Homo-oligomer: A and B are copies of this chain.
Amino acid sequence: MIDATTFSVSGERFTVVYRIHESATVAREIADNICVEQTIEFPEVLIQDDDIRRHVIGQVQQWDDIDTSTFDATISYAVETSGYTLTQLMNVMYGNASLFPQVKVQSFELPAALSDCFAGPRFGIAGLRRLFDRPTGPLLMTALKPQGLSAEALAEQANQFALGGIDIVKDDHGLANQPFAPFRERVAHCAAAVRRANEETGGRTVYAPMLSGPSEQLMEDAHFALEQGAGAFLLAPGLIGFDAARRIAAADEFPVPMIGHPAMLGSYVVSPHNGYSHGAMFGQLMRLIGMDASIFPNYGGRFSFSKHACQEVAASCLGAFNGYATIFPTPGGGMTLDRLPELSAFYGEDVMFLIGGNLHRQGTTLAESSRAMRAKASTL
C-alpha cells in the first residue's frame, strides 16, 4: 500500500474521447485501464481511498455505444496531471495508450486553465485573409520542387509562382539542407525572388521555407529565414516534434503564419483502430500548437484519405475549439486545376488549395499556370 496522500487540486479537468474497438465487456475493462495507465501507471489496488485515487486517476465520464463492437469512452483527467505543458498533456492523452491496438483518440476538450497555456494560431483564417487581402474565396499555395534543383532554379520557380499570384509559395517538405540547394542559399534566393515579384505586381505572396534542421540549429534557422524575408514557416511536427513546432509558432520573435505538414504523422491516422482521428490530429492538435493552416492529403489523390476523413479534418479546423482561431484546411497531394470547382463545393469557402506538380503540367510558364489557378479560384 502507498501511504494515503492528500493535496488540493483546482477541480478543473480535461477530457479525451477514446474510441475503443472491442466487445462491450472488454471495452469497459480497457477504459478502466486507460484511467490508470495514463496517470498513475501503478496497481490500483495499492492506492488507498485518498487524493491520488480521487484526483489523479482518470475518470470515465461518459459512455457511448457506437455499435456492438465500438464504444466511445470519455475520460477526464485533472489539469494538474498535464503539468500545463504540451508534451505532458499529449503523454496523458495518449502516451502509453498508443500501445493499445484498439484505442484511438477521437477528440479532446480542454478547460480554460489548460487552453490558456497554449497561444494557438496567431493568424488563423481571419488573419491570413487580412494578410493576403483576400476577404473571400480560397487561398492558394504551391511548392518548390523537385529536390535536386539548385537554389537559383528553385528561386526562379518562386518568382514565377509569385508573379502568378499564388498566396503562399512553400518549400517542398523534402527540401532540407541538401548539397543541391543548401538551406541558407535556398532561403535567401527564394525570399528575394518572391520579394522581386511582389515589387513588380504589388502582390503579397509569401515564401514559406521548410524548417527541419537539427534541434541545435532550428531556432537559428528560423531567425535566418525571417531575416531573409521569409513570410511564413513550414513545420512538420511529426519530424521536429510537436513541442518544437509549438515553440516556434508561439514565439513572438516569429510573427509569421505557420503551416503544418503531415510528414511522419500518417501512422497516427491510417489505422481505423489506433492513433488519433483525422480531426484530432490535423485539426485540434495543429490548432493547439499554433498552425494557421493544416496540410493533409486530399481524397482522390495519391494518398489514402477518404472523403469522410477530409470532411472531418475541415470540420475540426473550422469548428469551435476553446476560442482558438479557426485555420485553413489545406488539401494537397496530387491535386489538379480541374478539380478546383468540385473541391470548392466540397470544402466551402474557407479552404487553401495546395497544388504542386500539376502547375508544371500545364505546358505554359509557371506564372501563367499560376494565373490560371488564380483565375479559376476567383470564379469559385
Q: Which of A3, A153, A263 has the most chain B CB within a 10 Å cutoff?
A: A263
Q: Are A303 and B100 interface neighbours, CB within 8 A?
A: yes
Decide if A356 is an interface residue (CB 8 Å cutoff). yes
Are B241 and A43 touching (Cβ within 8 A)?
no
Residues of B within 8 A of A153 (CB): 3, 5
Q: How far is the CA of A272 from the CA of B39 in the complex (A)?
A: 28
Output the least CB separation between A172 and chain B (Å). Answer: 6
Q: In the complex where A56-B147, A87-B212, A270-B99 touch, is A7 in contact with B180 (Cβ < 8 A)? A: yes
Please give the distance in Å from A148's CB to the nearest CB on chain B.
Answer: 4
Minimum Cβ distance to chain B for residue A186 (Å): 11
> Would you give the shortest CB distance from A141 to chain B, in whole angstroms?
14
A89, chain B: closest CB distance, angstroms: 9
Q: A91-B212, A95-B236, A176-B87 in contact; A40/B267 too (CB < 8 A)?
A: no
CB distance from A209 to the nearest CB of B (A): 13
The reply on A120 being an interface residue by CB < 8 A is no
The chain B residue sitting closest to A42, CB to CB, is: B146
Q: Which residue of B lies closest to A88 (CB)?
A: B176
C-alpha gap A212/B83 in the complex (Å): 10
A214 touches B95 (CB 8 A): no
User: Which one of A44-52, A225-233, A337-345 contacts B?
Assistant: A44-52
In the complex, residue of chain B having the shortest beta-carbon distance to the beta carbon of A8? B179
Chain B residues with CB below 8 A from A5, complex form: 148-150, 153
- Inside 8 A of A80's CB, which chain B residues have their CB? 178-180
A90 contact set on B, CB distance < 8 A: 239, 264
A19 interfacial contact with B, CB 8 Å: no
Instruction: Give A170 Cβ to nearest chain B Cβ, in Å.
Output: 12
Q: How far is the CA of A228 from the CA of B114 in the complex (A)?
A: 30
Q: Which residues of B contact A178 (CB under 8 A)?
A: 80-83, 88
The yes or no answer to A67 lying at the interface (CB within 8 A) is: no
Q: How far is the CB of A53 from chain B (nearest CB, A)?
A: 9
- Name the B residues within 8 Å of A246 (CB-CB): 215
Q: Looking at the complex, which one of B47, B85, B213 makes contact with A213 (CB distance below 8 Å)?
A: B85
Are B91 and A264 in contact (CB-based, < 8 A)? Answer: yes
Question: What distance in Å separates the Cβ of A347 from its nearest Cβ neighbour in chain B?
Answer: 19
Most chain B beta carbons < 10 A, residue from A80, A148, A274: A148
Q: Is A86 an interface residue (CB 8 A)?
A: yes
On whether the beta carbons of A243 and B243 are closer than 8 Å, the reply is no
| A41-B172, A52-B148, A215-B246 as given contacts; A361 in contact with B46, CB under 8 Å | yes
Within A268-321, which residues are at the interface with B (CB < 8 Å)? Answer: 268, 270-271, 274-275, 297, 302-305
Contact of A91 among B88, B91, B176, B244 (CB under 8 A): B176
Residue A262, interface by CB 8 Å: yes
Interface centre among A101, A143, A173, A270 (most CB of B within 10 A): A270
Distance in angstroms from A187 CB to nearest chain B CB is 14
Q: Within residues 171 to 227 of chain A, which ones have a CB less than 8 A from any CB in chain B?
A: 172-174, 176-180, 212-216
Min C-beta distance of A261 to chain B, whole Å: 9
What are the 10 closest A-B residue pairs judged by CB atoms, nearest first?
A241-B241, A98-B266, A40-B146, A99-B266, A95-B263, A52-B148, A88-B176, A83-B176, A42-B146, A215-B247
Binding site for B on A (CB under 8 A): 2-3, 5, 7, 33, 37-43, 46-47, 51-52, 55-56, 80-88, 90-92, 94-101, 143, 145-150, 153, 172-174, 176-180, 212-216, 236, 238-244, 246-247, 262-268, 270-271, 274-275, 297, 302-305, 356-358, 360-361
